[in-house]
């Protein structure tokens, strides 16, 4: 009698799974970060100062690093994320976007962790971390807008033109 071994999902599922994890944690971090950054908005949303917002923000940050790392370990490392071999301008932009997102995520985690420690050993490092964290939020907002534009407009146009080309070649 042979026993079936559990199979590791293919790399084809790695990208959508990582995207879903990143989307969920990014949205949690963005919303809670906005509530932390704008006290008036936080008071409006929670009725006052809520420590739960701080906890959710911190643990969403841990999840934004920990979950992708766990998935990559499960899938056998970064080889599961081999970039598609498309040599188009859009492919280059998508790859650049992905690289910036990875770097920003790591920098957000590092600066967030420094702020989480709240150790007065190096106040200037904590102040610099807070400033960098805040400025990266603006960069992330611009990247999100560009990504949504890419998906909604450019991606739709690309799919429509590809569909029109396929229809013409069939006739």
Q: Is residue 51 part of a domain?
A: yes
Q: pLDDT tens across 19-47, in order?
A: 899 999 999 999 999 998 888 888 888 87
Residue at 165 is within a domain: no
Total tally of structural domains belonging to the chain? 2
pTM for this one? 0.75
Whether 16 and 73 map to the same domain: the answer is yes
Given a contact cutoff of 8 angstroms between Cβ atoms, the answer to whether 90 and 154 are in contact is yes
Per-residue pLDDT at 168: 63
Residues 167 and 86: their CA atoms lie apart, in Å, by: 23
Same domain, 109 and 48: no
Residues 12 and 77 in one domain: yes
Domain containing 146 equals 84-160
| Helix runs in the chain, H state only | 11-37, 39-46, 51-75, 89-117, 123-149, 155-170
Examine the domain organization and report whether 92 and 135 are in the same domain. Answer: yes
Tens of pLDDT, residue by residue, the chain (171 residues): 455 545 555 556 777 888 899 999 999 999 999 998 888 888 888 877 777 888 999 999 999 999 988 888 887 766 656 665 667 777 788 888 888 998 999 999 999 998 888 776 677 788 889 899 999 999 999 999 988 888 888 777 777 777 666 666 665
Q: What is the distance between the alpha carbons of residues 60 and 66, in angstroms, rounded to a whole number?
A: 10
**pLDDT at position 84:** 59
Q: Considering the domain boundaries, does residue 171 fall inside one?
A: no
Residues 60 and 89 in one domain: no
What are the tens digits of pLDDT across the range 138-153?
999 999 998 888 888 8
Same domain, yes or no: 78 and 94: no
89 with 60, same domain? no
- Looking at the structure, tell me whether residues 71 and 95 fall in a common domain: no
Show the tokens assigned to 46: 């929670």
Nearest to 105 by CA among 159, 147, 62: 62
Let me know whether 88 and 50 are in one domain. Answer: no
Give me the pLDDT at residue 38, please.
86
Evaluate whether residue 99 is within a structural domain. yes
């Amino acid at each position: 009698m042979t026993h079936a071994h559990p199979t590791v999902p293919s790399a084809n599922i790695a990208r959508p799974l990582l995207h879903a994890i990143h989307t969920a944690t990014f949205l949690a971090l963005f919303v809670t970060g906005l509530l932390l950054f704008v006290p008036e908005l936080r008071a409006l949303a929670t009725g006052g100062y809520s420590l739960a917002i701080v906890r959710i923000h911190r643990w969403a940050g841990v999840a934004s690093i920990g979950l992708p790392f766990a998935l990559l370990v499960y899938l056998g490392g970064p080889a599961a994320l081999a970039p598609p071999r498309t040599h188009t301008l859009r492919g280059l932009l998508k790859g650049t976007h992905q690289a910036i997102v990875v770097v920003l995520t790591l920098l957000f985690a590092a600066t967030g962790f420094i702020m989480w420690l709240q150790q007065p050993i190096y106040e200037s490092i904590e102040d610099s971390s807070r400033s960098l964290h805040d400025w990266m939020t603006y960069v992330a907002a611009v990247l999100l807008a560009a990504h949504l534009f890419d998906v909604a407009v450019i991606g739709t146009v690309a799919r429509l033109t590809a569909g029109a080309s396929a229809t013409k070649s069939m006739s």
